[in-house]
């Protein structure tokens, strides 16, 4: 797939359109990339995702206003939806993924980007978004028996809930063959947190996630076999 030419300049231009709420200018810029033969999957992975992370970080640090954040996330969601409609669908991999994320707008959008790309890559995906209680998640995975439980989170506030969910799954000895995968901002900012809470894999981006899922063996993980004693608490 072709790379996006002048990616830094294009990213700066789109960021300006996003935080200013310039809908037509943003659409025209992205349409020009499609017209240049850039694959929509590449645009989502190399342009939309880094911009979403930057917008989330800047808002968290009070470097952009609430208005700019709302402009950017709503407009970016529109662009993500339009990109997804253009994805080329790969043959089925016969692997099921249950995806959940944190409750805020940025995390929901990140989860959507990931869900769309996974589905295009041949996985069967259910995506419930954020705000789902752990007992409901456990009931859901008990009914559907997914091959992968994927938890995306950008906020540090999400980590204790993810830890509790993983601890309960491990301690009950349930879903032995299910991989637990985490990703998103908090796991990028805190190296080793994925191991601390007992996850099997951690991904820093959709591209990283897709590569690691293909490379990983879909069998019981060694961390699971070693039992809940290996699952350490995060202070």
DSSP labels, 105-124: HHHHHHHHHHHHHHHHTT-E
Q: What is the pTM of this model?
A: 0.86
Which residues are bridge partners to 127 per DSSP? 99
Judged by average pLDDT, the poorest of 16-30, 74-88, 212-226 is 212-226
**What's the rounded Cα separation, in Å, for the pair 228 and 172?**
9
Which residues are bridge partners to 125 per DSSP? 97
Could you give the angle at which helices 7-20 and 49-60 cross, rounded to 10 degrees? 50
pLDDT at 2 over 90: no
Say if residues 150 and 100 touch (Cβ distance below 8 Å): yes
Q: Could you tell me which residues come within 8 angstroms of residue 13 by beta carbon, excluding any fewer than 6 positions away?
A: 29
**What's the rounded Cα separation, in Å, for the pair 190 and 187?**
5
Q: Could you tell me which residues come within 8 angstroms of residue 74 by beta carbon, excluding any fewer than 6 positions away?
A: none
Query: What pLDDT, on the 0 to 100 scale, is given for residue 194?
Result: 83
Average pLDDT of the segment spanning 169-188: 82
Mean of pLDDT over the chain: 87
Q: DSSP state, 127?
A: E
Split at pLDDT 50, 70, 90, the class of 218 is: low
Say if residues 49 and 205 touch (Cβ distance below 8 Å): yes
pLDDT at 223 over 70: no
Q: Could you tell me which residues come within 8 angstroms of residue 127 by beta carbon, excluding any fewer than 6 positions away?
A: 99, 100, 111, 112, 115
What is the tens place of the pLDDT at every residue in 85-142? 999 999 999 999 999 988 888 889 999 999 999 999 999 999 999 889 999 999 999 9
Split at pLDDT 50, 70, 90, the class of 66 is: very high
Query: What pLDDT, on the 0 to 100 scale, is given for residue 235?
Result: 33
Q: What six digits make up the tokens of 211? A: 């590569």
């Amino acid at each position: 797939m072709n790379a996006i030419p002048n990616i830094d300049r294009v990213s700066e231009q789109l960021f300006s359109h996003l935080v200013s709420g310039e809908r037509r200018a943003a659409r025209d810029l992205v349409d020009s990339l499609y017209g240049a033969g850039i694959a929509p999957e590449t645009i989502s992975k190399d342009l939309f995702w880094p911009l979403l992370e930057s917008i989330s970080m800047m808002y968290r640090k009070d470097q952009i206003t609430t208005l700019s954040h709302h402009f950017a996330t709503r407009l970016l969601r529109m662009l993500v939806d339009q990109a997804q409609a253009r994805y080329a669908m790969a043959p089925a991999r016969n692997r099921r993924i249950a995806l959940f994320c944190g409750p805020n707008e940025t995390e929901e959008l990140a989860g959507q980007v990931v869900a769309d790309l996974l589905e295009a890559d041949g996985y069967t995906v259910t995506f419930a978004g954020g705000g789902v209680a752990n007992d409901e998640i456990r009931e859901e995975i008990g009914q559907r028996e997914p091959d992968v439980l994927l938890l995306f989170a950008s906020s540090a506030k999400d980590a204790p809930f993810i830890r509790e969910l993983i601890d309960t799954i491990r301690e009950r000895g349930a879903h032995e063959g299910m991989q637990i995968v985490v990703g998103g901002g908090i796991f990028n900012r805190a190296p080793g947190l994925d191991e601390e809470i007992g996850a099997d894999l951690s991904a820093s981006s959709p591209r990283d996630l897709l590569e690691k899922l293909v490379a990983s063996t879909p069998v019981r993980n060694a961390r699971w076999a070693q039992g809940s004693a290996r699952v350490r608490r995060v202070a």
